[in-house]
Structure 1
Amino acid sequence: MDIEELIKSIAIEVLSKMKRRVLLFITGGSVNIKEVFIALRENSMIQYSIVMSDAALNVIPKEYIESIDGKLINEKSEMTKEISKADLIVIPVLTRNTLSKISNGISDNLVTLGISEAIMMNKKIVAVKDSFDPNNSVNIYLGYTRNKAYNEMLLKYLKVLEDMGIEFVNAEQLKDKINDFFNFNIETKKNNKVVKKIFSGVLTLEDILCIEGKLEELCIKKGTTISPLALDYVSNNKIKICYVEEKE
């Protein structure tokens, strides 16, 4: 093995260890799922494991699942291990059926059992509510929100799960919620100014994350070495790179 192949293999191993572990529980909803899966696949620093209901296997397009390059889990024992190891639990598609079951303590399939176990382990859980939310514009358009009592029942179940620690977001908020949880976003709430930074020497991910404000452009002196993690971050956040000449 030559030196370049050795460096590449080491970098791959380091990157795999640095990736954050996210466990997905996916049910058979269809509202805004394209937007959801675009958000899930946009960060290469995340390693996904996936548990799907039977309905999800029939409803969610296969190419959506393949696009996030996750490991499918079909066994209870393996699922429990993944729940323990996961840095974050995400329910990107949550149907009315599954919402009702887990809020009432019903665990009758791998997904409902896994979510219940994650709640009991007090894991951080983020759930996308679009598929069941009576205030969602798609559900309103389809006519699924005309019964006030039924809407109130769904919102009551949402409140039950919120009290258990589950955080609910809309599909459009999912990407930022995940990035915020892992500190992937470089824009701070205290300082929203746009900044331009010039680097030389060795540029690491830590250097970028220490910058206050929204970094839109990296100016790098020729000869600067960019670490693999920093390069991934720049790519994922669409940060422009420009190269500048070293002044005499």
Structure 2
Amino acid sequence: MMDEELVRRVMAEVMRRIHQTSDETTADNAPAPPRSSVMAIFTGGTIGMEEGLAALKELQEDDCNLTVVLSRAAEKIVTAERVRKHLGDAVTVLTPESPYPGKALRQADLVIVPVLTQNTMAKLAHTLSDTLPTTLIMQSLMLGKPVVAAENAADPRDSWRAGLAMDKAPIVLVRAFQENLRKVRDFGVNLTDVRNLGREARRALERSKATAGEEAAPRAASPAKRNLVDAEKIKAVALSGGRVYSVAPGDLITPLARDTARDYGVEIIRANT
């Protein structure tokens, strides 16, 4: 006859292992938080390049899935080797010789330009899409995706340019560069100092997720029709000379729309119920 104490111990161990397996299965089946997809586009400049790579590393540490695109000049100046040195060998690096990354662009939650050169800025300001970077950036804007770019290499008055004695351009040329910056900003590109690039990228991702959630809310809520006020509606009012945008009591205003209203000086007024 088996000892009762031995039986008790065996049963206790069996139950312990059953519970352990159950806990591990539950943990394995728990849905992982969604990863954000970011497309980073490098043009052929050096001003702010290392800081731009550091910002991408921060996003990678935030569990963002990165796809890095190098222009023809960036292949030589930035190089795929340097990108992988900062971001790891597993990161996807594309060049003009790679197949066009249309699918990666459509899946991207954010497009980030760590180095925006004056040449690329000028092409964008005149809506030219004759290079891989300009094509991707213009398509990003047309798809309504947030685009954040470091303006240091494109700004004729940037302090780094002054340190390199590259700020001696005649005033008429400086004004032309600054006008290009203004146009690109008006197209919807968030231009920022490269030292703030990581922070602005995270803000853009947060706004993008919030907007997606708000856009889904009316479909899951009441059947009553509710208007969604997005950034494009605010911008359309501003470009037509308007300074006030009236919304109905039930209308939803996206965070990006509020930011755009502030940037363009448009006051959002909600009608009384």
SS at match of 2:32: helix
Aligned residue in 1 for 2:77: 59
Alignment of structure 1 residues 100-111 onto 2, 5 Å: 100-111=122-133
SS in 2 for 1:89: strand
The answer (yes or no) to whether the contact 1:26–1:91 under 8 Å persists in 2 is yes
- Given candidates 41, 47, 50, the residue that maps to 1:34 is 50
User: Does residue 172 of the first structure (1) align with residue 188 of the second (2)?
Assistant: no
Q: Is the 8 A contact 2:146 2:204 kept in 1?
A: no
| Partner residue, 1:49 | 67
- State the alpha-carbon separation in 2 of the partners of residues 76 and 61 from structure 1: 15
Distance 2:147 2:55 in 1: 16
Worse-superposed segment, 97-106 or 62-71: 62-71
RMSD: 2.6
Which residue among 154, 158, 170 is the counterpart of 2:177?
154
Displacement after TM superposition at 1:68 (Å): 2.4
**Cα distance in 2 between the residues matched to 1:157 and 1:72:** 29
Q: CA deviation at 1:108?
A: 1.6
User: 1:48–1:68: 8 Å Cα contact kept in structure 2?
Assistant: no
Whether 2:179 is the aligned partner of 1:163: answer no
* Paired position in structure 2 for 1:87: 109
Mapped contact 1:92–1:127 kept (Cα < 8 A): yes
AA of the residue aligned to 2:160 = V
Q: Give the structure with the higher percent helix.
A: 2
Distance 1:64 1:5 in 2: 39
Within 5 A, what are the aligned runs for 1:178-189? Answer: 178-183=201-206
Pairs within 5 Å for 1:1-248: 14=32, 18-43=34-59, 44=61, 45-66=63-84, 67-69=86-88, 70-74=91-95, 78-147=100-169, 148-183=171-206
Deviations 1:108-132 (A, max 9, x none): 2211111111122221100001112
**Residues 8 and 55 (structure 1 numbering): CA distance in 2 closer, same or farther, change over 3 Å?**
farther
Larger Rg: 2
Q: What is the percentage of aligned positions where both structures have the same residue?
A: 24
Gaps of 5+ in 1: 185-248
User: Do the aligned partners of 1:37 and 1:64 also contact (CA within 8 Å) in 2?
Assistant: no
The gaps in structure 2 that reach 5 residues or longer are 1-19, 208-273
SS in 2 for 1:108: coil
Deviations 1:143-179 (A, max 9, x none): 2222211111111111111111001000111121122
**Counterpart contact for 2:40–2:67, Cα < 8 Å:** yes
| C-alpha deviation, 1:42, in angstroms | 1.9
> What stretches of structure 1 move > 4 A for 4+ residues in a row?
2-11, 74-78
Q: Per the alignment, do residues 61 and 83 of structure 1 end up closer, same or farther by CA in structure 2, a change over 3 Å counting?
A: closer
Calculate the TM-score normalised by the size of structure 2. 0.59
Equivalent residue letter for 1:165: G
Q: Equivalent residue of 2:127, what SS?
A: coil
Q: What are the Cα deviations for residues 81-131 of structure 1, in whole angstroms up to 9, with x where unaligned?
A: 222111111011111111111211222221111111112222110000111
More strand by share: 1
What is the total number of aligned residue pairs between the two structures?
A: 180
Q: Which residue type is aligned with residue 68 of structure 1? A: L
CA positional deviation for 1:10: 5.9
